[in-house]
Each structure stands twice: as structure tokens, then as C-alpha cells.
Amino acid sequence: MCLGIPGRIVKIDDVTKRLATVDVGGVKRQINIACIVNDDHPVESCVGDWVLVHVGFAMSRINEEEAAQTLKILIELGEAQAEIEAMKLSAAQ
């Protein structure tokens, strides 16, 4: 819950609601990207961004190397698997 998991934005779903689809370790889910957009970086320009996702909200833009490194650590901590499972379970309800 507290550690963000890295993912890559693959699609913008709703510009007004600031919703996008992110790929986290092969699992796709919708997230909110309101906290990483601004005038210089509008919603439309977010596809391809690597982001740190906390409970379904992108909280920080990161680079690809940081994303890979963070994912590796989260896997070693056992947190990545738990997050991805929670994402899948939650989506199924």
C-alpha cells in the first residue's frame, strides 16, 4: 500500500477525468494521473511515461532505469507480487 509500484502508461482513457491505462509488470489496469499532469505536461502527452503508482494513482514520473530498479527491489521484498495480485483481485469484483 505504501510503496509505489512502477508502470508504463499505454493509453489515455479519459482526458477530463484524467484516467489512463498503465502496464504494471504485464498487468494492465486503469489509474488516475491527475497528480503527474500540468500545463507543461498535459494528459495527452503521458503515453509512454514511466510512473510510480500508489493505490491506483500515478504519483511521480520516473525514468525507465529507475522503474526497472524499483520493480526489482519490490519483487525481492515480495511487495510487487502482492500489489499485482491485489490489482487483479480488485478488478475482478
Give me the residues that bind other proteins (CB under 8 A), please: 1-4, 17, 29-32, 34-38, 52, 54-57, 59-60, 62, 66, 69-70, 72-73, 76-79, 82-83, 86-87, 89-91, 93
Task: Enumerate helices (H) and strands (E) in the chain, giving the number of each.
Answer: 2, 5
CB 69 to other proteins: min, Å = 7
CB 36 to other proteins: min, Å = 8
Q: Hey, which bits of the chain come out as E strands?
A: 5-14, 19-24, 27-32, 50-54, 57-62
Complex with other proteins: residue 25 or 56, whichever CB lies closer = 56
CB 63 to other proteins: min, Å = 8
In 3D space, the residue among 25, 1, 91 whose CA is nearest the CA of residue 10 turns out to be: 25
CB 11 to other proteins: min, Å = 16
CA angle 19, 43, 75 (to 5 degrees): 60
